Structure formats: structure tokens, C-alpha cells
Amino acid sequence: MEQYGDILEIDLLNDDFRRRAYTEAEARFILAGRGFNALTLLREVGPDMEALSPESPLLISAGLMTNTAAPSSSRLHLGAHSPLTGLLGSSSVGGRTGPALRSNGFFGLILRNVSPHPVYVYMENGRAELRDASELWGLDTTDAAAQLKMRHGDEGLGLLLIGPAGENGAELACVVSGRGHAAGRTGLGALMGAKRVKAIVMRRVRTPAHNSPEIKAAVKRFSDKLVASPSYEEWVRYGSSASVEWSDQMGMLATRNYQTSTFEDVSAIDGRSMERYVQRHRACHRCPVHCKAEMKIEAGRYAGFEGERPDYEPIVAWGSKCGLGDAEAIMFLHNLCDRLGLDSVSAGSTVAFAMELYEKGVITRADTGGLELTWGNVDVMEQLIREMASGEGFGGLLGHGIQRTVERLGPQTKPYAPVVKGLELTAMDPRAAYGSGLGYAVSTRGGDYTSIYSRHEWSISPERAKELYGDERAADRLQPHGKAELVRRAMIVSAVVDCLGICKVPSLSLINEYDLENEAELVRAITGLDLSAAELYRIGERVITMERIFNSRFAWLYDMDQVPEMFTRRPLPDGPAAGRAFALDGMLAEFYEVMGWQAMGLPTERKLKELELDEFVDEVVRRSAVTRQEVR
């Protein structure tokens, strides 16, 4: 393969393009993808730069192995100062777009400034230009994609699009990558809309593959392990959608805004119940899992609907979280979010939050514009989605996310707000999954599971937990013991996978080894970089530390590394974890210690030098002194 491509910087105001080489030294230091974003943001975005200011860059970066022979090597990573959280903006996406970018010779794009009118970036044969998007502005992502395919043809076309939500400044706006894929967390669609960029269109350049015997052998070993996974066939058939009923059985399924952990209609919304709607399965670049599926509803209220099967997180967000037991309605609502360019997970979570406020009488119809926010009220849910995207009505408020809704409605709403670092929590209740709860607290992008991926707390044996984490109880999701080491490894390994541009489903969900030996073998064979698993792990730790420093510019970290009191003060009323509340303090202190961080959550000077981050030592030392003074 061509080992190193270029970085393309686009000045949207002046229609200026600058291209520079991505060097081997950079690849050895940060790999690519998420690592490139972290270092660039850290060097360019200071504490006084507003997330939606013209100077705030939007980064779109391929992983080191995106568009290579590596299995599932499709991923792009988007990064920015988040409009939603005010901290790190970070989101990964699959589909066609990552391979299309890399095939044009680019590792990454940096969008700067603001266009004076709506534009889209068009890229073909290694060249890029800005084109007028005035006729596309206002279209949803499906109609805009159709127009772009009419102009440029569908063959080999990779798309990144925003919908009306991004155009109208909803902080829950996402960036959609073609059909069924979205960079869906931390509100990056709002930044793309503020820059007046409707789309990025990339035609994939097809080049002959020259796979050596070493590459073929490394790919085969990885693929053999993947196919041998006990859950491989389930993932091929259902993707992550069949995890909903499993979560219910484990008593950790977020239900009615986390009031309970089991849902009476779970069988009706689990992915197995959606099997009858599947028309065909699809896969990302070089992926043997084929976890995506196209759906069609033939009869009933949604007759004629065609769209994508929701994954686990959106099913929970619109299903059990909102008290909705109708699979067809969930498919419709999720796909409506994609069309309008809304993060389906955060949007559903925000609606569930508002529904509990309504149930408890904290808000009334006078606050909601006459809407009855009762559990499972699908008509109201649809209206709220449309209002989120348009910025109108009560939904227009919710489109700014839970954190800003609390600020607007008042402190009486905070006890019901499932949000960490400004980001809405995902599907697992931390009271029934302690590692996931610690992950929510310390994740650099906020209350999220996929950037931590701490699945070893239920997927390995006590003997393996003892070997990896020094405590067999790390494999018990209802015990705090060993969780600091488990989350440390999960966080760092997850960062490495994001930097490499491969999907976490085959690497972490299916192979599930978390030692980076498989990934290191692929890196050596495909890129020629002689990096060991230990060296990849060190790079992942470096990336996490850079993201941590970035966040420290905008908030006191210890104050942000918390979970809402709704989990620490309210024991679960049902399920296998009934009677348990979540206790963070001991795990958090231990996590700081194993990470080499100070008691208030900043990395020590020693740790920074160990990771070769000397250029940030003075900044962190100054901030540590201020933090210590504040504590006194």
C-alpha cells in the first residue's frame, strides 16, 4: 500500500486549498484518525475559542489502515470542539466514505472558517473543489444524497451530509455518511452547518491491490479468529440489535429514563423481532460481518417504509427509554432522525428525559406547547423530532440536548438528567454494570459506552480477569473490584482501534482479546511500521492523555468525571441488580492512580514526559496549581 497520504486544509471563506504530507513520524506518534484529531485540536483550539466560532476547525480523518486489506477497515473519525458539550467532539463512522477519502490520497481534511454561502466539497482523482450547495440547503439527507448521486453518479461515491438539524444549529445534529451510517455523537453536524457545508462528496479511486504473502497471512489469521467467535453468526444475522433482550435479562436495560432496568415489551423491540422486515444485509469496506440491514414495512401505519435497521443503542433510545414497545415505530423514528440529521441516541434520550419530567409534573402542557409527553406516545415523539430539527416549539429546546434544556427549565429538572460531560448516556444502566458506569464518568467525550467498550466485565472468565486485571472480580459487573484496570485497558485499546480505522465490532465484540496483538500484526504487515502491541498501547494512552488535556481547558476534570445522582442515590427497583445504587468514588480514585493522574484528574508531569508530551507540561503544571488552590 501507499503508506502515507496527505492532509488537505480547506479555507472555506477564501476557497483556498493547502495540501501537506502526513509523515511517518506522525504515524509513529499518533497513528492517524482519532490520534491526529486529538493532537491537532490540542495545538489549535485554546480555552477562549468558542465551539461554533469561524476559527473552530472541523477535522475528518481516516485511520492508519482505512481502505487497506485489513478486515473492516472502513472508519473515519470526526473531531472538533463540541458544540453540544463544550468539550471534546469526537465521533467515528463507517460506510463508503473512509475508503473514498483514503483512495484519493488523503489521511484527513481540515475545514476552516465559514463559507459565505452553502457549499459542498467535491473530491475526485486526488483533487478537491468547493461547489455551490444552495439548491441542496434545506433538503433532508436522503433527498440531498439523491440529488448528489444524480449529479455525480452512485458508483464509488462516499458522502458525508448534514440535514436540517445541522443547518438550523441543533446541538444534537450529526453527520450522516450515506445510508445507515452516522457520526452521531457530540453535535458535530451543528459545526458543519455553521460552516455552511452541506456535504463532502468523494469518489473512490480504484487502484489494484498488491497484497504480499505477509499481508494475506495476517488478514487470514485475523479473519479466522473473527469467524470462530461464538457470537459471529448472531452478529451476521442481527448486528447489535439482538442485544436488547439480553440487556433486559441482565437487568441493565435503560427503561423510562432509567427508572427501571427491565422493559415489559422487550421481546417486541429486540432485533430478532425485526427479522421479518429485512430485505438484505450490507457490509462496510472489507467487513465479513455484514451487520447492517435494509428494512421494508409492507402494511399498517408505516406501510411502504424503507430504511435501515436500527442498532442496539437507537432501539433502546426510542424503545425502552421512552416506553415504546412498537418495533415498526422505532424503525421509523430512528430513520427519521437520520433523514433530518439528528443523533438518534441523544435525541431519544432527551425525549425520554422530557417524558419523565412530564410524568412527575415537573413540566406541564403549558411548558410543552400543549404536547402530552406520555410514555410511548409515538405521535408526540415524531413531532418532537421534527421540531428538534427545525428549531421550533418545545422540541426546538430539546434539540439543544439535555444539559442546555436543564439550564433553560431550571434546577428542578437536574435530578432527572442522565448526562455526563454534557453528553446523554447510552443504553446500559450503570447500577447494573459498574465498569460501564466508570466508563461513563471518565470517557473523554462524555457519557458514552462505545468510546470505552468495557465489555470484559461480563464477557470473560474470572480466571482471565485475574490474569488481565489482577482481580477475578473484574469479570463480575456488579462488583467495583478490578474495574479501574479493566476500564483503563478498554479505554486505551478503544482509542487505538479508532486510530487504526478498523471497526470495534470484529476487533472487540467478536475477537474480544483486548491485547492488541492481532492489530499489531496487521499494522506491521500492511503498513510496514514495526510497532508492537505494547507500542500501540502506549500510543493509545498518549491519545487519551491528549484528549484529557484538551478537556481540562474548558472544565475542572474531577467535577466532570461524575455520574448523575439519579444513579448514586436511587437504587434499582427491579432486575438482577435490584437494590443497588452506583458507587463511583473508590473506583474513580483507583482509576486516576492506575492512569498516572493526580487526585483531581490531571496527568502528572512524570506521565506527560513518559508519553513524550513535553510540549504540554507547562500548561498542565499551571492548571494543576490552580486546581490545587481551588481545592484549598
Q: Tens of pLDDT along 577-614?
A: 999 999 999 999 999 999 999 998 999 999 999 999 99
The pLDDT-based confidence of 209 (bands split at 50, 70, 90) is: confident
180 has a pLDDT exceeding 90: no
431-631 — its CATH code?
1.10.599.10
Phi and psi (nearest 5°) for 229?
-60, 135
192 has a pLDDT exceeding 50: yes
The pLDDT-based confidence of 627 (bands split at 50, 70, 90) is: low
Q: Beta-carbon neighbour count of residue 283 at 10 Å?
A: 15
| CA 108 to each of CA 34, 187, 365, 548, 589: distance values in angstroms, whole numbers, following the listed order | 11, 20, 47, 22, 37
Q: What is the pLDDT of residues 425-482, one digit of tens each?
A: 999 999 999 999 999 999 999 999 999 999 999 999 999 999 999 999 999 999 999 9
pLDDT at residue number 3: 56
CA distance 462 to 468: 10
CA distance 37 to 30: 9
Structural domain boundaries of the chain? 6-203, 236-417, 431-631
The amino acid occupying position 288 is P
Mean pLDDT of all residues belonging to the chain: 96
Contacts by residues 300-303 (CB-CB < 8 Å, ≥ 24 positions apart):
300/328, 301/328, 301/329, 302/328, 302/329, 302/331, 302/332
Residue 559's H or E segment, with its range, is helix 557-560
Are residues 607 and 545 in contact, defined by beta-carbon separation less than 8 angstroms?
Answer: yes
Residues in contact with 154: Cβ distance below 8 Å, sequence separation at least 6, in sequence order? none
- Lowest-pLDDT range, 210-224, 313-327, 390-404? 210-224
| CA 118 to each of CA 11, 60, 177, 195: distance values in angstroms, whole numbers, following the listed order | 14, 19, 19, 8
CA distance 488 to 526: 28
- Evaluate whether the domain defined by 6-203 bears CATH number 3.40.50.300: no
The pLDDT-based confidence of 285 (bands split at 50, 70, 90) is: confident
Q: What is the pLDDT of residues 371-381, one digit of tens each?
A: 999 999 999 99
The pLDDT-based confidence of 628 (bands split at 50, 70, 90) is: low
CA distance 443 to 186: 12
Are residues 226 and 502 in contact, defined by beta-carbon separation less than 8 angstroms?
Answer: no
| CA 520 to each of CA 19, 225, 503, 524: distance values in angstroms, whole numbers, following the listed order | 29, 15, 15, 6
Using CA atoms in the order 200, 203, 207, 211, what is the torsion angle rounded to 10 degrees? 50
pLDDT at residue number 179: 80
Q: What residues does 18 pair with on adjacent strands?
A: 9
What architecture (CATH level 2) is domain 236-417?
A: Orthogonal Bundle (1.10)
